[in-house]
Amino acid sequence: MTALLRIEGLRVEFGDGDAPLVAVDGAGLSVAPGEVVGLIGESGSGKSLTCRSVMRLVPRPGRIAAGEIEFDGRDVLAMSAQELRDFRAHDAGMIYQDPFSSLNPVYRIRDQIAETLRVNLGVGKADARAQAVELLDGVGIRDPERRALSYPHELSGGMRQRVMIALATASRPRLLLADEPTTALDVTTQAQILALLLRLRAERAMAVLLVSHDFGVIAQVCDRVVVMYAGHVVETGPLAALYTNAQHPYTRALLESVPELESAGRRTRRPGIAGVPPELTEVLPGCVFKPRCRHAQPGCEAISMALEPVSEGHETACPVRPFAGTGSAPTARAGAQR
């Protein structure tokens, strides 16, 4: 099947052209129609910039310096201003990481949704207000007529996120980019938002690229997973393959840091991954994860970070393969969360 979204060799830079700071370095991924793909990695890995690149909304002075982005066979990086407006209005929706950056505090919810419908889809004012209420109903907001008249600060975090989803999916896009849509929410609300995304996906055959730093979230909803570290995709594969047979030490470390769910719905955080990701100014030869890797070997500073196949659809950037043949799940409990 041809991909709905295909990213290849994406490079996003900051700083000046002679000595650029490389925030995304040769990243690639694809999303099939109707598929839910998880994009996971610690803070600073380049997840948000990768999503923003698809929308051609990399914040200045950042820029896309190389790579290909194709949506349904169309070259996103070659689109004219008008084509881009149409693309953002109809084809791809995005939920941005900071909910406050996207909901305007001084307008009622109804009016913000109506304005989006008017601008993006050319809906008349009265119709747009009526449709806004329907959209709120569609994302599971109870008593939508009354809620439509609220201001953003009058809504809970979960309800604000539902409004963001209503806005991002108002035009029934075939792709939703959801950047950490549940990060600020408690576990129960988080599960409700994930369930909503799955329902929209099923009702509309909408594909989702779901960004998270939490494998527990990814495991609940994703078909496939893409793992990013320091601007590179280090491993990718079907969810089950990564859960039971992760081949990159970074993926293993992420799995081991999955918070355990407790009966009361509270989460205890397991110890995170030792060390910190590199600064953008730090250019590491070979494997970027080497300084934090328990399995590092002398040859690691000479590797290319290119993905090599492990099995059908499963690829890793670690040529050392410290886990080859073990086939064991790093965290047996984690698999039970699905």
Cβ closest to ligand ADP, residue 43 vs residue 268:
43
Is 212 a binder of ligand ADP (CB under 6 A)? Answer: no
CB of residue 134 to ligand ADP, shortest distance in Å: 33
Task: Choose the one of Mg ion, ligand ADP, none that binds residue 116, judging by a C-beta under 5 to 8 angstroms depending on kind.
Answer: none
On whether the CB atoms of residues 137 and 94 are closer than 8 A, the answer is no
Q: Which residue in the block uniquely carries the two structure tokens 């002679």?
A: 18
Instruction: Pick out residues in 52-81 that bind ligand ADP (CB under 6 A).
Output: 59, 62
Binding site for Mg ion (CB under 5 A): 47-48, 97
The dihedrals phi and psi of 153, each to the nearest 5 degrees, come to -70, -15
Look at phi and psi of residue 137 and say left if phi exceeds 0, alpha if psi is from -120 to 50, else beta: alpha
**Count of helices and strands (H, E) across the chain:** 12, 14
CB of residue 63 to ligand ADP, shortest distance in Å: 11
Task: Choose the one of Mg ion, ligand ADP, none that binds residue 23, judging by a C-beta under 5 to 8 angstroms depending on kind.
Answer: ligand ADP
On whether the CB atoms of residues 255 and 248 are closer than 8 A, the answer is no
Cβ closest to ligand ADP, residue 245 vs residue 257:
257
Question: Which range binds ligand ADP by CB under 6 A, 41-49, 118-126, 232-240, 256-264?
Answer: 41-49
Burial of 223 (0-12, 13-18, 19+ CB in 10 A): middle
Question: Which range binds ligand ADP by CB under 6 A, 39-47, 107-115, 127-135, 263-271?
Answer: 39-47
- Beta strands 232-238 and 267-268 are unpaired
Beta bridge partners of 40: 212, 227
Residue among 5, 25, 37, 48 that touches ligand ADP (CB under 6 A): 48
CB of residue 97 to ligand ADP, shortest distance in Å: 7
CB atoms < 10 A from the CB of 279, how many?
Answer: 10
Instruction: Pick out residues in 257-316 that bind ligand ADP (CB under 6 A).
Output: 280
**Site for ligand ADP, rule CB under 6 A:** 14, 23, 41, 43-49, 59, 62, 280
